[in-house]
Amino acid sequence: MATKYNLKQWAYAATVMAAASSQSAWAEDAHSYAKLQEVTTPHLELDLTVDFEGKQLRGTATYDLVRKSDDATTVHMDTRELTISKAEIWQDNAWQETSFKLAEPHETLGQELTVSIGEATDKVRIHYTTAPTASGLQWLSPEQTKSVKFPFMFSQSQPIHARSWIPIQDTPALRLTYDATVRTPAGMLAVMSADNSLDPELDGNYSFSMPQPIPPYLIAIAAGELVVKEISDNVAVFAEPYIIDDAAWEWADTPAMITATEEMYGPYRWDRYDLLVLPPSFPFGGMENPRLSFITPTVVSGDRTLINLIAHELAHSWSGNLVTNASWRDLWLNEGFTSYVENRIMESLFGERRAQMELALGYQDLLDNMERLAPKDTVLNIELGTRHPDDVFSQVPYVKGQLFLVYLENKFGRETFDNFLRQYFDDFAFQSISTAEFKAYLARHLLAKNPDVVSMDKVNEWIHEPGLPADAPKPTSNAFAEVEKQMQRWLKGGQLTTQEWTTHEWLHFINNLPLDISSVNMRRLDEQFNLTQSKNAEIAHAWLKLAIVKNYEPARDRLRNYLLTIGRNKLVSPLYRELAKTPDNLKWAREVYQQAKPGYHPLTQTVNEALLYPEQ
């Protein structure tokens, strides 16, 4: 790593800066009951027992309290399906029981927890148990894992699911440090978004510390039959034994990615960067849990072509984890900046051709998404009200956000824009910021210093208007132009030359085949390239989606098998959405879904039930 740093120094700087961060952002999170203007909880101590039989976490959450208002005598937290047995405050050198109240459940937000803290205490402790149906946890039986020896559990807290396994002020406007003690059955390993040991003794007793202040949605836990393999001094992979060697091989470029990002945007400030392979039911491609990104096994493709996902999760160590969106309306500050940095990392390691293909694929996904989204949901600074952020998840914050930054880069020049970004990450390190704060910073540090290049009106159009500005970049790729030429020749009966194609060219090819392609041509492709049986989860996805549109029956069994074994929602839900379009396919899809459901994560269940049973 380019810069070694002193943890204590960072923690100190972060505390000072967090204290200076604006009150306005705090009041604006419609997805939390926390009242940060009254009391904050800058440190958490967790003590949890993982009960696989009961599918429950059981234990205590103890918080340090900081009073922001003189007359606050309660602290307000978020919970969802938690059973609270007791609340205590530290007073007169002892824990004393205190009163608490759980409000009626709100469908999206869960239940507000109000705990009496009197006027003097600076510590509160909550005793609780999670529900087996906790929206932020998935519990897998031994039979649902590859080795069939141990069960597996993991969390996915972003955006508002931390509250389903910890009573917490669940707003990204808060930052807190944490320590944790976790108990599992012996022989299993627990890991967290914290300082994981590389040489753990599997005695079922684990302790963790996360010394840098993070938002609640980055608190993460997993437990299962896990082994460790080091890639370099500062990067290791944690995984079930069946995939550990393949994953370590697939992600060998991670240390070089860290170095490249540090050169562009400043020091990596989280000490180690480890990767955890989740079971195939993990609902996302990746999740940037600090020090330990959680990754789907569906990107272990054996050819290193999907490692932009690692670049993406790593990039969040700057955009998202260091500088954090203050509310879910500002998600584009996390995901748009991260998609931009991801692409810059890819360019730096693998050159412009590959980066350009990835940008073009993203752009096409964005255009597809925008076709089915209500215009108001194509706005970067989206109006959510109290809608669940999961319900409006789309490529808009990612790719439209990224295109906005590409636009700024083109206008101001790469050097100027890189310097701006580097300074931005430094100035807001360990803080949460809103879109309004970003705009003010942009106006002052980029627009005003380079007058008459980009107007504030243009910035507002990007951030507050639906769709894309007329002068938005329209990424294309020379490599894809070649693919299209080949496609035209092939459709007329010629041969394809695909020896040099990577996943990218295949995705572009399949996604752009004419929808009136004949079944003879579908079969011809499949026989030559074995697409139905592709081991690459992304290529298989694109092909299976087309197979549904075309009613290409030879792919049915594979489609069923795919839906039964993969739970990454981005790969699963476009298939159910396509199937739901005809009555026969819908009937078939519901049967497959019911069979797959016990293995799906709660998020994958919710999203796909909305597609398959819209009337409910």
| Site for ligand BES, rule CB under 6 A | 158-159, 284-288, 308-309, 312-313, 316, 335, 398, 570
In angstroms, what is the minimal distance from the CB of 316 to ligand BES? 6
Sequence-ordered list of residues with C-beta below 8 angstroms from that of 321, at least 6 positions apart, any chain: 214, 218, 270, 288, 290
In angstroms, what is the minimal distance from the CB of 434 to ligand BES? 17
Closest by alpha carbon to 253, among 369, 346, 123, 370? 346
In angstroms, what is the minimal distance from the CB of 237 to ligand BES? 18
CA distances from 457 to 151, 222, 454, 465 (A): 54, 46, 8, 11
In angstroms, what is the minimal distance from the CB of 318 to ligand BES? 13
The token duo for 436 is 């309004």
Q: Which is nearer to ligand BES, 394 or 498 (CB)?
A: 394
Sequence-ordered list of residues with C-beta below 8 angstroms from that of 122, at least 6 positions apart, any chain: 64, 65, 66, 67, 90
**Cβ atoms of residues 390 and 156 within 8 Å:** no
CA distances from 152 to 172, 190, 345, 422 (A): 27, 10, 33, 39
Q: Which is nearer to Zn ion, 337 or 509 (CB)?
A: 337
**Cβ atoms of residues 120 and 71 within 8 Å:** no
The token duo for 278 is 């989740």
Compute how many residues bind Zn ion; rule: CB under 5 A: 2
**Which does residue 215 touch among ligand BES, Zn ion, none (CB within 5 to 8 A, set by kind)?**
none
Q: Which residues inside 324-343 make contact with Zn ion, applying CB under 5 A?
A: 335, 338
**Which does residue 503 touch among Zn ion, ligand BES, none (CB within 5 to 8 A, set by kind)?**
none
**Which does residue 98 touch among Zn ion, ligand BES, none (CB within 5 to 8 A, set by kind)?**
none
**Which does residue 159 touch among Zn ion, ligand BES, none (CB within 5 to 8 A, set by kind)?**
ligand BES
In angstroms, what is the minimal distance from the CB of 602 to ligand BES? 13
- For the chain, the farthest-separated pair of C-alpha atoms sits apart, in whole angstroms, at 85
**Interatomic CA distance for residues 238 and 249, integer angstroms:** 13
**Cβ atoms of residues 84 and 127 within 8 Å:** yes
**Interatomic CA distance for residues 352 and 348, integer angstroms:** 8
C-alpha dihedral (374, 376, 380, 386), degrees to nearest 10: -100
Closest by alpha carbon to 417, among 406, 401, 427, 402? 406
**Cβ atoms of residues 397 and 331 within 8 Å:** yes
Closest by alpha carbon to 361, among 321, 395, 385? 395
**Interatomic CA distance for residues 532 and 530, integer angstroms:** 6
**Which does residue 196 touch among ligand BES, Zn ion, none (CB within 5 to 8 A, set by kind)?**
none
Which residue, judged by CB position, is nearest to ligand BES in the bound state? 285
Q: Which is nearer to ligand BES, 306 or 487 (CB)?
A: 306
Q: Which is nearer to Zn ion, 129 or 369 (CB)?
A: 369
**Which does residue 344 touch among ligand BES, Zn ion, none (CB within 5 to 8 A, set by kind)?**
none
Q: Which is nearer to ligand BES, 289 or 431 (CB)?
A: 289
Closest by alpha carbon to 155, among 254, 248, 48? 48
Q: Which is the catalytic residue, given 81, 250, 288, 313?
A: 313
In angstroms, what is the minimal distance from the CB of 287 to ligand BES? 5
Closest by alpha carbon to 170, among 180, 160, 179, 178? 160
In angstroms, what is the minimal distance from the CB of 399 to Zn ion? 12
DSSP label at residue 396: I
Q: Which is nearer to ligand BES, 90 or 268 (CB)?
A: 268
Q: Which is the catalytic residue, given 340, 398, 407, 424?
A: 398
The token duo for 51 is 């009960």
Q: How many CA atoms lie within 13 A of 2 on its CB side?
A: 14
In angstroms, what is the minimal distance from the CB of 331 to ligand BES? 6
> Is 398 designated active site?
yes
Backbone angles phi, psi at 212, to 5 degrees: -95, 140
Q: Which is nearer to Zn ion, 126 or 160 (CB)?
A: 160
* Beta bridge mates, 50: 57
In angstroms, what is the minimal distance from the CB of 168 to ligand BES? 16
**Interatomic CA distance for residues 380 and 374, integer angstroms:** 13
* Beta bridge mates, 78: 112, 168
> Is 313 designated active site?
yes
**Which does residue 505 touch among ligand BES, Zn ion, none (CB within 5 to 8 A, set by kind)?**
none
**Which does residue 285 touch among ligand BES, Zn ion, none (CB within 5 to 8 A, set by kind)?**
ligand BES
Q: Which is nearer to Zn ion, 213 or 401 (CB)?
A: 401
Q: Which is nearer to Zn ion, 335 or 377 (CB)?
A: 335
Could you list the active site residues? 313, 398
Site for Zn ion, rule CB under 5 A: 335, 338
